[in-house]
Structure 1
Amino acid sequence: METGCWLLGGEFEDSVFEERRERRPGPPESYRAKRCEPQWFYEETGSSDDVEALTVQKFKGDLAYRRQEYQKALQEYSSISEKLPSTNFAMKRDVQEGQARCLVHLGRHKEALEIATNLENKATNTDHLTTVLYLQFTICSSLQNLEKTIFCLQKLISLHPFNPWNWGRLGEAYLNLGPVLSASLASSQKENSFTSSDTAIKSSFPHSGKDCLLCFPETLPEGSVEVSSGNKQRNEKALKNIQNRMTEERAAVLLETQMKACASFIRTRLLLQLAQCQQTSFALERNLKTQQEIEDKMKRFSFKEDTLLLIAEVMGEDIVPEKIRDEVHTEVKCVGPAALTALVIGSSKEFEDKWFRKIKDHFCPFENQFHTEIQILP
């Protein structure tokens, strides 16, 4: 045989050459699974093992949480945390997460955030970080802080870009953020407009000080009245321009968040469509239901077909079956906190530049056309 050639099937596992174990005579031993009665952990276990005793106590805390008895659950978790040995990292993380979630339900968000931050700093692999980010998302959602909620979702997506459910949550968050930002901008502009209005009124009257009260238009020289009238017209025109600009700014803010929401929903749908062929039963049912909900939301934007095609093209550039398969079966990356930090985006701007910049750049030269093309329905 020539060098470099090999026979098909010429490679064998070592196990092929191992001797088989001899079977013991007689019937095989029957397997008996350990059966536990419901809420068995409330009974006296009589265990001298400290770890087992703490595990039983954790079950009690978990059940109290499930029953929405958050104060009782918090007491159980806090008691466990004090007794846990410093080397039991796994249970320590579980207990601290339980404490944080109880604190959220009890309205003690600051304490919950402190625990979440501590867990994030001590995370050593991607699973730990993912769990912490979901915890932070829960806390920020409970606080109804939309901007921080969005940032949590953006960090989760940067860690798992092919998770459709986080993209869907991000789209919902952007939908809710638009009116909030628009209202906040309107309030700020209203204050500024009052200041501008006062300045304009004062500039209409050249006299100031105590003598101003005595200077009525009918007592002023004829030339002064004409100057005052001209100033008034100019100021009214300036105020009208300011108001128009404010209206345009509010519309632009609302439009941008609508665009981000639409892009997020489109990516959600693309990912769900790709996963659809591999799903059955309730998973497929949930998939199809979500796709229909997205379809209904898309109608609110009234985007033209070519606009939707462009957004779909941009948001689906990296969606390749091989990549998604690698994402699903990826190994947990065990690295230090510093390396984990590098895996997620550092700011909301960084995330939006990566995912939405191409869409914004495409419409930037045709901004006026884009504004008239898209009609946001109530």
Structure 2
Amino acid sequence: MDLFGSNFDDSVFSEAKDKNTVSVSSYNAKCCKPEWFGESAALDTEDSLEKQKIFKFRGDLAMWKGKYQTALDAYTSCLGWVAENNLSIRRDILEGMARCCAELGHRDRAMELLDLLSKEASNTCHLTSLLLLKVTVYRHFGLVGPLMSSLQELCSLLPFNPWNWYNLGKICMHRLDHGTYLKDESMEMEAEDDKVSEESLWLKACVCFVRTKLLLRILQQQQSSFVLRHNQIAIQKAEEALARLHPDQTTLLNLTEVMSEDLNPEKMREDNQDGMSLSNICVPTFRERWWDRILLSGLLEADGQNGLSDVKA
């Protein structure tokens, strides 16, 4: 009696007698001269795609060289030649225009472009790019409140990215050092309804640097060379920031417990939402995911004033 699967049909191992012939056609790659899209490039062509490429590459080169007005002009011209269904290039052009406007000090126009990109965002990749762009623009114009809100959204969307937590912690420290927890113009666009006070900023800074350390230590297991050294430097800076904030040991232990609850391999794999449609996911806000649980623990009232006195000293 043959075991199941122990005998095979000989035809499986025989070469096929009749093979389909594959016709191979020659392909000649298009060779372009360096900076072929420069001022001498022909724009009298009827090919709209060719015009789009010329203006797009001109804008990218000018942006790289720091010639932001030239880049903005090229991107603006390019936008008129982008096909309606080419959403990727359209978003790329709008983002380039927003960055140019920020560098040129055109605040209102930069905000209009951010709003336009917000309306057209349809998946998590779009949202991530938009939030990173907002961080750049808001930081450029010194809009500390909106900058902090955007970083909080990034931490909610990408909870296992340590650098968003680290940057949010630095913003909290900046606000504590410069007194920008007070109501001012930079708070006009703050999205989340946070309690803006010294005590809440102090605790939020502690939260961010604790989370940063936890995530970076997990990543160390997969790193080597200069990446590992960069990681270790970041951990050291997070520890130095926590030393300045000076939370007591009980507070540190409680924060570590809360901020490490979701740090297990299965949870981290399940939370990968890269490219998902925004209509199919529900991203909890920073307050919903972490802040309310921390506030309910009573840490703010228990240790906030002690920690703040050490920061000010």
TM-score range (shorter-chain normalised) is 0.7 to 0.9
Structure 1 portions without partners, runs of 5+: 186-251
Query: Is the alpha carbon distance of 1:49 and 1:17 closer, same or farther for their aligned partners in structure 2, counting shifts above 3 Å?
Result: farther
Letter in 1 for 2:275: V
Q: Which amino acid aligns with 1:363?
A: G
Q: Deviations over 1:74-108 (max 9, x none)?
A: 00000011222222222111111111110000111
- Offset of residue 19 of structure 1: 5.0
Question: Which residue is 2:295 aligned to?
Answer: 360
Superposed, 1:1-378 pairs within 5 Å as: 38-42=34-38, 44=41, 49-181=47-179, 184=182, 253-327=197-271, 330-335=273-278, 339=279, 343-344=282-283, 351-363=286-298, 367=301, 371-372=305-306, 375-377=309-311, 378=313
Larger radius of gyration: 1
**Partners in 1 of 2:274 and 2:80 — Cα distance?**
33
In 2, are the aligned partners of 1:178 and 1:253 still within 8 Å (CA)?
Answer: no
Structure 1 pair 74/258, CA: closer, same or farther in 2 (3 Å)? same
1:209 alignment counterpart: none
CA shift at 1:374, angstroms? Answer: 6.4
CA–CA separation in structure 2 for the residues paired with 1:30 and 1:9: 46
Indicate conservation of the 8 Å contact 2:160/2:268, yes or no: yes
Letter in 2 for 1:111: R
* Structure 2 gap ranges (5+): 184-195
Paired with 1:369 and 1:152, the residues of 2 have a C-alpha distance of 27
> What CA distance in whole angstroms lies between the structure 2 residues aligned with 1:66 and 1:44?
19
Aligned in 2, Cα 1:179/1:311: closer, same or farther, shift over 3 Å? Answer: same
Q: Is the contact made by 1:97 and 1:135 (CA closer than 8 Å) also made in structure 2?
A: yes
* Superposition deviation, residue 30 in structure 1: 11
Q: Report the alpha carbon displacement of residue 305 of structure 1 after superposing the two structures with TM.
A: 2.1
Secondary structure at 1:55's aligned position in 2? helix
Q: How many residue pairs were aligned?
A: 292
Give the stretch that moved more between structures: 262-271 or 350-359: 350-359
Tell me if structure 2 keeps the 8 A contact 1:96–1:115: yes
Aligned amino acid, residue 332 of structure 1: G
Quote the Cα distance in structure 2 between the aligned partners of 1:21 and 1:178.
77
Q: Percent identity?
A: 33
- What is the alpha-carbon distance in structure 1 between the residues aligned to residue 17 and residue 144 of structure 2? 63
Determine the C-alpha separation between the residues in 2 that align with 1:8 and 1:308: 59
Letter in 2 for 1:367: E
Higher helix share: 1
In 1, Cα distance between equivalents of 2:295 and 2:203: 9
Provide the C-alpha distance between the structure 1 equivalents of 2:257 and 2:208, rounded to a whole number of angstroms.
13
Q: Which AA in structure 2 matches 1:334?
A: S
AA in 1 matched with 2:80: E
**Secondary structure of 1:376 counterpart:** helix
The 10-residue stretch of structure 1 (71-80 or 307-316) with the greater mean CA deviation from structure 2? 307-316
Q: 1:302·1:375 contact (CA, 8 Å) conserved in 2?
A: no
Distance 1:292 1:103 in 2: 36
Task: Determine if contact 1:182/1:254 at 8 Å carries over to the other structure.
Answer: no
- Go from structure 1 to structure 2 and tell me whether the alpha carbon gap of 1:368 and 1:297 turns closer, same or farther (over 3 Å shift): closer
- CA contact 1:154–1:170 (8 Å) conserved in 2: yes
TM-score by length of 2: 0.79
Gap change, CA 1:16 and 1:331, over 3 Å in 2: farther
Quote the offset at 1:357 in angstroms. 2.8
Shift in alpha-carbon separation, 1:40–1:265, aligned structure 2, 3 A: same
CA distance in 2, matches of 1:162, 1:116: 25
Question: For residue 41 of structure 1, what is the amino acid of its counterpart?
Answer: F
AA in 1 matched with 2:240: D
Deviation at 1:128, TM superposition (A): 1.0
- Whether the 8 Å CA contact 1:113–1:136 is kept in 2: the answer is no
Which protein has greater RCO, CA pairs closer than 8 Å, 6+ apart? 1
- Alpha-carbon displacement from aligned partner over 1:112-157 (angstroms, at most 9, x marks no partner): 1111111111112111111111112212111211111111111122
